[in-house]
Structure 1
Amino acid sequence: MVGVTGVVRDPDGNVLLLRHRFWAEDQQWGLPTGGAQRGETFEQTVAREVREETGLEVRVGKMVQLRSGFQLRVEVAYAAGYAGGGTMRLNPMEILEARWCAPDDLPKGLLESHRRLIEASRR
């Protein structure tokens, strides 16, 4: 399985963070994340996951990280920029809340690995 994460920024540099329904209660905040589907590029996975979870469109940029993950999982992360989509429409089955956050004002309960991805994507 390949898990794909997007570090999505708006034109002001704010980061899109989501409060995920099925994540541990004290660590529900994180970046848009999901599994790659067969035949899909990882960049397509980022765009699809953001669209499915928020209704927003993104332009996917450079790879931020590639590493081994939980059990036999591979994890890849990409920087991405907000490209439109109008009003945010959350998928209530997966996402409880979403917000644009300044990189120096991230919410409590943000996964530490996602905090590091946000920092890495600034470079």
Structure 2
Amino acid sequence: MKKIIARLWRGIRGPMQWRVLWLAHAKFMVGVTGVVRDGQGRVLLLKHRMWPPERPWGLPTGYAVKGEEFPHTIAREVKEETGLDVKAGRLVHLKSGYKLRLEVAYEAVCTGGTLKIDTFEILEAQWFSPDALPDGVQESHRALIHGKPAD
């Protein structure tokens, strides 16, 4: 039976194999976060409108769109939410195990742009020293800012 399945599999090479794999495997959203710093080492935090009121502050984050490379996701999300341009750097976090999502985080550096927030999603955007973060920062984001593993 294994030989027959292997022969069939080799016979449907290309797009048909991808379709079969897509149907047979779990589907995930990919949340991408950026630990965005400026030239002074400050970190960009956003006060998110849709997040819990007791924990509204966090790093820029959003979901990757189909076919998008994750470093581009963070650049796009930061641009949409703040008007700032960023360049993603080193991967600092990758976590699976959720039912519907995978989390990815990159270091990023601000390269330009003018701060203008998207008021639909974001209430405020500010630069903070890592040693003087506001109350209400997501704990996982606080860990990323300080270079510790995020749970």
TM norm structure 2: 0.77
Question: Who is 2:133 aligned against?
Answer: 106
Question: Who is 1:67 aligned against?
Answer: 95
C-alpha distance in structure 2 between counterparts of 1:76 and 1:69, whole Å = 12
More helix, by proportion? 2
Alignment of 1:16-35 (within 5 A): 16-35=44-63
Q: CA deviation at 1:71?
A: 2.8
Moved >4 Å (runs of 4+): none
Larger RCO, structure (CA 8 Å, separation 6 or more):
1
Q: Tell which structure's C-alpha radius of gyration is larger.
A: 2
**Which structure 1 residue ranges, 5 or more long, are not aligned?**
none
**Which structure 2 residue ranges, 5 or more long, are not aligned?**
1-28
| % identical equivalent positions | 59
TM norm structure 1: 0.94
CA displacement, residues 48-89 of structure 1 (integer Å, 9 cap, x when unaligned): 00000000001110000000264321000000001000x201
More strand, by proportion? 1
Q: CA RMSD in A?
A: 1.1
Q: Size of the alignment, in residue pairs?
A: 120
For residue 27 of structure 1, give the secondary structure of its aligned residue in structure 2.
Answer: coil
CA displacement, residues 5-55 of structure 1 (integer Å, 9 cap, x when unaligned): 000000000000000000000000000000000010000000000000000
